[in-house]
Amino acid sequence: MSTQLYSHIPNKPILTILYQDDYLVAVDKPPGLFVHRSFMDKDETYFALQLVRDQIGKYVYPVHRLDRPTSGVLLFALTKEVAQKMNAAFADKSNEVNTSMQRGQVQK
């Protein structure tokens, strides 16, 4: 889904599942979608966590977050134990690899 999400959209969005196995599911999060409920979401109807859970029929645990305006791959664990291991791996900055695409001009 490449369009911005707004709370007034009557149809429930369907997220593109990029990868799924017995432990993890990765989805394409569009811009404008919160990962989970927060104090900033008073008027929002849909959240990535809820959408993924409903799509695959299993409870999911977020492994990391992407800011609301950010699009990209969002990873969920399918068990609490896997989520804990993945959270630990993400917290270990020695393994961190960040790749991003930017638009605009680089200032010299």
Q: What CATH number is associated with residue 39?
A: 3.30.2350.10
Is 67 annotated as catalytic? Answer: yes
User: What residues contact 41, with CB distance under 8 A and at least 6 apart?
Assistant: 34, 47
Provide the domain count of the chain.
Answer: 1
Residue 67 placed within a domain: yes
Catalytic member of 41, 43, 67, 92: 67
Amino acid letter, 48 = A
Q: What is the pLDDT of residues 38-80, one digit of tens each?
A: 766 677 778 899 999 999 999 999 998 888 888 999 999 999 9
Confidence (pTM): 0.74
Average pLDDT score over the chain: 81
Give the residue carrying structure tokens 């492994």. 63
Q: Residue 66 belongs to what domain range?
A: 16-92
Tell me the H-state helices in 1-108: 48-56, 80-91
Considering the domain boundaries, does residue 6 fall inside one? Answer: no
101 within a domain of the structure (yes/no): no
Q: Which two tokens stand for residue 25?
A: 């599911």
Residues 49/36, Cβ–Cβ less than 8 Å: yes
